[in-house]
Amino acid sequence: MSSKPEDDKERLFQAAKTIFFHIQDLSSFTNTLIELLNHNMNTQIILTTVKEDSNIRDFFEQMLKIVAEIQSVVDAANKNVQNEPLYSKITMTLSSMFEQSTNVKELYLSAKKVFKNAHIPLIISVLSHGNVLGILASCITALMKFPIMNLQLSDLYRKDTREQSEATTSEKIMSSDPPEANMTDKLKKLQEAFKGENATNPTAFAAEQLEQIIRNLGPALEVLKKATKIMETNISLFKKVPEK
C-alpha cells in the first residue's frame, strides 16, 4: 500500500529537521570534549562551528579533521603514560565507569603520585576504552557518501527566531515547522539531492535516505554524549577529593 503524498512530505521534513539538530548536538558535544582537552591537557584545539548557510560537507570535513587531531593528542598522551607502573590499574578502574565499589579518593591520590594531572588517564581511558573517536570517524566517513552533503544546513531546516534557546532538542523537532512559503523550495532541494536514484516516489525515497542518516548518526552521537558526560562528572569528582 502506497503512502500518501502529504505523509511522505511530513516524514521528509521531520527527518531533515532531526538531522539538523543532530548536527548541532554533534558540534556541541564535540566542543565540550575539546574544552575538556584544552583545559586538562594543555591542547589548543579549535572549537567546531555550525552556520546555517554552511555546506553540510564542509561541516563534516571540519569534524573529521578535529577528530583526527584529538586522536593524535590521545595517542601521544597514551604513549607517554602507558609505561607508568600504576597506569594499567588506573585505566582499568576508570574504564569501568567508576563502579560504586571504586574508592575515588584512593584512585585520585594514586594517580596524583604518577601524573601531574590526574585527569589525563581518565580522558585517555574513556576515549580509548569505548573507541569513541573511531566510531565517530567511521560514522562521519559513511555519512559523507550521501548526496545531501552538497546542501546547506538551512536546506534541512532553519530555526525560527521565536524558538526559546533553552528548549530541548526533542521540543525543537516537534515545534516551529517551516513556513508554508518555504516548504516547496525545501521539498524540491531535498528531492533533487537524490534525483539520480530513479525512485518511483522521490519524496518517500528521500525521506528513507534521511532516516538512514539518522539511524547511522544517532548511535555515534550517543557514544560521544556518554563519553563527555563521564569525563565531566568524574573530573568534577576529582576536584572534590581532598588532597590529605
pLDDT band at 240 (very low <50, low <70, confident <90, very high): low
Q: Shortest CA distance to 34 belongs to which of 123, 125, 98?
A: 123
Which of the listed ranges 184-193, 211-220, 225-234 does the model predict with the highest average pLDDT? 211-220
How high is the pLDDT of residue 115? 47
How high is the pLDDT of residue 96? 52
**Residues 163 and 175: beta-carbon distance below 8 Å:** yes
How high is the pLDDT of residue 128? 84
| Stronger pLDDT, 1 or 150, i.e. the higher one | 150
**Residues 25 and 223: beta-carbon distance below 8 Å:** no
**Residues 91 and 125: beta-carbon distance below 8 Å:** yes
How far, in Å, CA of 92 to CA of 87, rounded?
A: 8
Can you read off the three cell numbers belonging to residue 63? 569534524
Locate the domains of the chain by residue range. Answer: 5-240
**Residues 146 and 216: beta-carbon distance below 8 Å:** no
Reduced to 3 states (helix: H, G, I; strand: E, B; else coil), residue 130 is coil
How high is the pLDDT of residue 108? 53
**Residues 152 and 193: beta-carbon distance below 8 Å:** no
**Residues 15 and 210: beta-carbon distance below 8 Å:** yes
Per-residue pLDDT tens digits for 8-67: 999 999 999 999 999 999 999 999 999 999 998 889 999 999 988 889 999 999 999 999
How high is the pLDDT of residue 3? 67
The mean-pLDDT minimum among 3-7, 93-97, 143-147 falls in 93-97
pLDDT band at 120 (very low <50, low <70, confident <90, very high): confident
**Residues 152 and 58: beta-carbon distance below 8 Å:** no
How large is the average pLDDT for residues 70-93? Answer: 73
